[in-house]
Amino acid sequence: MALVREYLLYLRVEKGLRPLSGEAYARDLEMFAEYLEGTQAVLETAQQREVAGFLDHLYRHQIEARSVARKLSCLRGFYKWLLLDKRIRHNPTVNIESPKAWKVLPKALAESETAEMLDAATVAATGAAGDAVALRDRAILELLYAGGVRVSELTGLRTEDLQLDAGRVMVRGKGDKERVVPLGRAAVEALTGYLERGRPMFVKRNRSGGLFLSQQGRTLTRGWIWELVKSKSGGRASPHMLRHSCATHMVGHGADLRTVQTLLGHSDIATTQVYTHIAMDRLKAVHRAHHPRAKAKAVRGTE
């Protein structure tokens, strides 16, 4: 469809949309367009009732709630663009509520599970068998968890992006937007060890500007990182789960959502609000522990 292609071109040029994201947007818009064929409407003339009907249609066909939420987000961006370009007079998605999926916490490892995985990686990297591979793997796991970085951001890192003396790294997120991610002592230590005693062993085999290299000297792929995390976690985690674990544990320890939004590189605070109920659970626990009237009082007249 010409209109969809024009919109995707706008996203690539003006917003820096990546190819894989563009393909997902195209599929979502094409799916909505197919639905509209049965309502005698087209993309430019769709009204709120058609958008709501489309979402109901997805639910009836047991489409996962989070996927429904993503499709609605796609439609919102599309109709906002049409409105700004004066092709339509009203945005049919304005009064459509987001699916409840945004209130569902993404899966995260327990803190004990995360600590167990990272401790095992540390032992492997510092023990007698602390070779280049072990140093590299530990640095990857520490960085994924400490910085909450996306796997695509990690594979795109270069050595010059690290500022370990300042305890931070520069990453490039969606739309090639750069952000500074702070690193804790454990991550800085792991990265320092990898740079000094691990990476040089791989660079000798093949020159590459990438930060994390294979034993053949090539920049590691996203798929390779996924397999590494899966293996080291005993099949319990993925790189994305480590990202969610980072945010979940931070909020659980009192971090505010704006700070987590900045760390994760979310452009919209609404995306970060998926962690709201963790903050609320912590608030309730603090209230119960410290408010003088929060605890149940003993019934008078009883012994």
Catalytic positions are 150, 174, 240, 243, 266, 275
* Order of strands, sheet of 178-182, starting from the edge strand that comes earlier in the sequence: 162-163, 168-172, 178-182
Show Cβ contacts of residue 187 under 8 Å, excluding neighbours closer than 6 positions.
139, 142, 143, 145, 146, 147
CA nearest to 266, candidates 253, 278, 257, 254? 257
CB-CB contact of 93 with 75 (8 Å): yes
Structure tokens at 120: 């095992």
Helix (H, G, I), strand (E, B) or coil at 150: coil
Query: DSSP 3-state assignment of 54?
Result: helix
**What CA–CA distance (Å, rounded) separates 202 from 185?**
25
Q: How far apart are CA 66 and CA 27, in angstroms?
A: 16
**DSSP designation for 87:** S
Pairwise CA distance, residues 48 & 93, whole Å: 6
Q: Which residues have a Cβ under 8 Å from the Cβ of 182 and sit 6 or more positions away?
A: 147, 167, 168, 263
- Residue in this structure with the two tokens 């700004």, named with its chain if needed: 84
- Contact criterion met (CB below 8 Å) for 122 and 194: no
Look up residue 26 and give its amino acid.
A
Contact 131, 87 (CB under 8 A): no
